[in-house]
Amino acid sequence: MYLTRDEQAILDGEKGAGAQKAMELVTALGKIYGADSLVDITSAHLSGASYKTIGEGGLKYLSDMVEGGAMVSVPSTLNPVGMDRGRWKEMHISPEFAEKQLKIIDLYGRMGIQKTCSCTPYIGENVPSLGDHVAWAESSALSFVNSYIGARTNREGGPGALAAAILGKTANYGLHLDENRAPTVVIDVDEFGGSVFDHSMLGQAVGMKMGKGVPYFRGISPTVEDAKTLSAAMAAAGSVALWHAEGATPEAGNYSIDGLEHIHIGKKELEAAYDKLNTVEDVQLIAIGCPHLTPKEMHDIASLLKGKKKKNKDVEIWFCTSEKVRSECPEDVKVMEEFGPVLADTCMVVAPIEGTFQRTATNSAKAGNYLPTLCSQKVRFADIATLMAVVE
């Protein structure tokens, strides 16, 4: 792989141990995947922010990077952490966990990373443009920016995205290249309701059917909320990192779909996706906001709940969003808080909920996939109105 003189100097340790470690990682990835050079990036989004997911090993890695003088060189944001920084007691979090979590956030901050912690930075703090090369971790967010915005990122892991953020560069392979952004299969969608929850089921169905690849949808016209949910579901049920929708996404017209395999998704496939995620009826926690709620979703939920009372006190409800969105929607928050806390910068999957709950409901196919494996939960999967009827 070709390196410029400056890049080689970083690899030789001339810019400090942190930058050297970053260059070692990025060039190693480039060699594995056949990159011919590095490419400049305009932003990074990092995962691996919860103490639950990275543990002591991750904490030590971050401490070493800070001690080595690592500092990001492009705007960089952070994924949700294991708790709401101000309301962790309401989440049944122990003081020991809280202390470690705050340390992790502090370490990221010392490397120049924005300490807002959300999986939807593209609706506020970190918005790439069409054609930008970026290095994003968080499977739902990177699929959204690849697909709905037309920025270019591979499915980065946390350390890879951090290394790229430090260098302002990543290895030029995979979805950074035109040829790998072409559709690989056509998804013909019919008998489709079109709600956000329908997009969650659609993503689950497509992820289950195709695993990986680049789907080209016909028959959908997703909004931002639909696209965020669809991206999350396909990334979790499969490993889709880029999709196109005819007439709706920026690169859909760039490639021919002649001769591609077609997959049909209708009522039967959506029902199979729904059934796959439902493993329990009665729940202890209803967790909404995977990926994090947008201002529109906050408003829609508040409208649904306005004037109603929570009668079933045995079931907890959490609404998850970013600090930015929570602070922008005070009226909606007030209505929602009658039912449960609006938690910022955390979520039901990266929080250690398994210490308190065993049965959780969600409207998100991504959460529906991860709650059993990462949080030992049985899951109820349904739309928000159905879930809220449980407690009214």
Half-sphere exposure of 345 (CA within 13 A, CB side): 22
Q: Counting contacts by CB under 6 A, is residue 371 touching ligand F3S?
A: no
Q: Which positions from 148 to 187 touch ligand F3S by CB under 6 A, shown as an x/- string?
A: ----------------------------------------
Token representation of residue 367: 């959460």
Q: Counting contacts by CB under 6 A, is residue 349 touching ligand F3S?
A: yes
Does residue 76 contact residue 45 with C-beta atoms inside 8 Å?
yes
Q: Counting contacts by CB under 6 A, is residue 375 touching ligand F3S?
A: no
Q: Counting contacts by CB under 6 A, is residue 367 touching ligand F3S?
A: yes
Instruction: Pinpoint the alpha helices (H) of the chain.
Output: 5-11, 17-33, 51-67, 95-110, 139-144, 158-167, 196-210, 224-237, 267-277, 295-305, 323-328, 330-336, 365-375, 384-389
In the region spanning residues 25 to 54, those forming contacts with ligand F3S, defined by CB under 6 A, are: none
Identified binder of ligand F3S from the candidate list 288, 315, 344, 350, rule CB under 6 A: 350
Q: Is 337 left (phi over 0), alpha (psi -120 to 50) or beta?
A: alpha
Q: How do strand 378-381 and strand 359-362 relate by DSSP bridges?
A: parallel
Q: Counting contacts by CB under 6 A, is residue 391 touching ligand F3S?
A: no
Q: Counting contacts by CB under 6 A, is residue 237 touching ligand F3S?
A: no
Which of residues 21 and 52 has its CB atom nearest to ligand F3S in the complex? 52
Using H for helix, E for strand and C for coil, what is the string for 143-162?
HHHHHHHCCECCCCCHHHHH
Identified binder of ligand F3S from the candidate list 25, 78, 208, 232, rule CB under 6 A: 232
Does residue 126 contact residue 75 with C-beta atoms inside 8 Å?
yes
Per-residue b or e along 302-313, where b marks 16 or more CB atoms closer than 10 Å to that residue's CB: beebeeeeeeee
What does the alpha-carbon distance between residue 106 and residue 112 come to, in Å, rounded to a whole number?
10
Q: Which positions from 275 to 314 touch ligand F3S by CB under 6 A, shown as an x/- string?
A: ---------------xxx----------------------
Which of residues 169 and 292 has its CB atom nearest to ligand F3S in the complex? 292
Q: Counting contacts by CB under 6 A, is residue 241 touching ligand F3S?
A: no
Whose CA is closest to 135, among 175, 167, 179, 165? 165
Q: Counting contacts by CB under 6 A, is residue 119 touching ligand F3S?
A: yes
Q: Counting contacts by CB under 6 A, is residue 79 touching ligand F3S?
A: yes
Find all residues with CB under 8 Å of 158, minimum gap 6, and list them. 46, 47, 48, 49, 54, 58, 137
Identified binder of ligand F3S from the candidate list 80, 124, 158, 352, rule CB under 6 A: 80
Q: How far is the CB of 212 from ligand F3S (least distance, A)?
A: 19
Which of residues 140 and 170 has its CB atom nearest to ligand F3S in the complex? 140
**Given the rule CB under 6 A, which of 104-112, 144-152, 187-195, 363-371 is the region that contacts ligand F3S?**
363-371
Q: Which residues bind ligand F3S (CB under 6 A)?
A: 79-80, 119, 140, 232, 290-292, 320, 347, 349-350, 366-367, 370
